[in-house]
Amino acid sequence: MQHFFSVPVGLLYSRSYFPEDSRQAVISLVEDVRVAFINILADAPWMDEETRKKAISKAEHIIAHVGYPSELYQNVTFEEFYKDLEMDPDNFFNNSMQFNLFINTHYLNELRKPVNRAGWQELLTLDPTEANAFYDPSSNTMQFPIAILHELFFSKDRPQYINYASLGNTVGHEITHGFDDNGRKYDLYGNLVNWWNVDTKRKFSDQTECFIDQYSEYTDPKTNLTVDGDNTLNENLADNGGTRAAYHAYLNWLKRNGDERLVPGVKYNQKQLFWISYAQAESSVDGRDHIAYLIENDSHSPNELRVLGVVSNLQEFANDFNCPVGSKMNPEKKCRVW
Ligand SMILES: [Zn+2]
């Protein structure tokens, strides 16, 4: 029901509370993370050149909807789209029926027509109030609803290490979903096409085994339940590749802009603050039963283990905090695909 007019209502909100300069700042952050991810693809030593080229092209073709597709900010009106839909202020049930009829007729009429991946009509059921982000493998697009472009995740007027560590990490996570064990099966337009060299595909699978083993070793301290490394594989791949991309995007930002000012009285440098901000953005307080439910049912690892799993795989983290080789956060064996 909340989806009745989610795009027009969300757009009104967006136009009032998400100024265009903020939107442009998010768009450039997305592009920075995309470039960092493409560099990861360019450097992956286990890929053959043909598959690498296709992977890079796929990453370049991901369409990112920041808030809404750009066309909606250029004064598109909804009159034409909704002209056949009749609403009655006194009949909620009938409105619901009318709306379902309208929307299903719309989708039926789209059958066999070319898909406009960049179009706002692809987002008709997107809930603008959900602080989440999505990657859709069958269109090779990412959606960042308005609700995740605020507060904890992004503000254009604060240190960039926070923005890259929180929203940047989310962007990297969604990009990496295009290259997890499900997303990798789709091509740059979202078609289910095998573009992988057989040998490279085998190496990909071999390296994912490392993640399955790593996360299967984790036991949540509150519930004593063990993480299912198979079930959480794709989210773990997205976390690991995404954070690496976000961190390198931030390093590139530093190269272009120079060091940011530090927080007075805080002894950490910019890179350390990136990691601390990342862990903070991923933090939550969950009850025992909720964690137990998540471990049994959710495709993500519990939040605390998401962070520990990622940073213990990233040499960059160990370097920034001088973790001795062989310590918990700098194990000799690290898992890596992206
Ligand atoms: Zn995910």
Tokens of 237: 């791949």
Residue 284 predicted with pLDDT over 70 = yes
Provide the number of structural domains found in the chain: 1
What average pLDDT is seen over the chain?
94
DSSP secondary structure string for all residues of 219-255: B-TTT-PBP-TTTTHHHHHHHHHHHHHHHHHHHHHHH
* Cα(12) to centroid(ligand 1), Å: 28
| Mean pLDDT value of segment 301-329 | 97
Give the model confidence (pLDDT) of 56-67 as tens digits.
Answer: 999 999 999 998
Give the model confidence (pLDDT) of 35-55 as tens digits.
Answer: 999 999 999 999 999 999 999
* Cα(148) to centroid(ligand 1), Å: 14
CATH of the domain at 183: 3.40.390.10
* Cα(56) to centroid(ligand 1), Å: 20
Write down the pLDDT at residue 116. 87
| Mean pLDDT value of segment 12-30 | 92
Rounded to the nearest 10 degrees, how much is the dihedral formed by the CA atoms of 305, 311, 313, 315? -170
| CA nearest neighbour of 166 among 35, 62, 280, 269 | 280
Asked, for residue 327, whether it belongs to a domain, the answer is no
Range with lowest mean pLDDT among 50-54, 70-74, 175-179, 256-260 = 70-74
Q: Alpha-carbon Rg of the chain, whole angstroms? A: 21
Please indicate whether residue 130 is annotated as part of the active site.
no
The structure tokens 């990233």 sit at 314
Asked, for residue 328, whether it belongs to a domain, the answer is no
Write down the pLDDT at residue 72. 84
Tokens of 286: 């969950």
Asked, for residue 305, whether it belongs to a domain, the answer is yes
Q: Give me the phi and psi of 14, to 5 degrees please.
A: -60, -45
Distance, in Å, from the CA atom of 257 to the CA atom of 252, rounded to the nearest integer, reads 9
Q: Which domain holds residue 194?
A: 6-320
Residue type, 209: E
Asked, for residue 102, whether it belongs to a domain, the answer is yes
Give the model confidence (pLDDT) of 162-213 as tens digits.
Answer: 999 999 999 999 999 999 999 999 999 999 999 999 999 999 999 999 999 9
Asked, for residue 332, whether it belongs to a domain, the answer is no
Residue 306 predicted with pLDDT over 80 = yes
Distance, in Å, from the CA atom of 55 to the CA atom of 138, rounded to the nearest integer, reads 15
Write down the pLDDT at residue 119. 84
Asked, for residue 255, whether it belongs to a domain, the answer is yes
186 forms beta bridges with: 192
Asked, for residue 212, whether it belongs to a domain, the answer is yes
Q: Could you tell me if 6 and 125 are in contact, meaning their C-beta atoms sit under 8 angstroms apart?
A: yes
Asked, for residue 333, whether it belongs to a domain, the answer is no
Q: How confident is residue 7, by pLDDT bands cut at 50, 70 and 90?
A: confident
Write down the pLDDT at residue 1. 46
Choose, from 174, 180, 220, 228, the residue flagged as catalytic. Answer: 174
Write down the pLDDT at residue 260. 92
Tokens of 136: 């859709």
Please indicate whether residue 209 is annotated as part of the active site.
no
Residue 289 predicted with pLDDT over 90 = yes
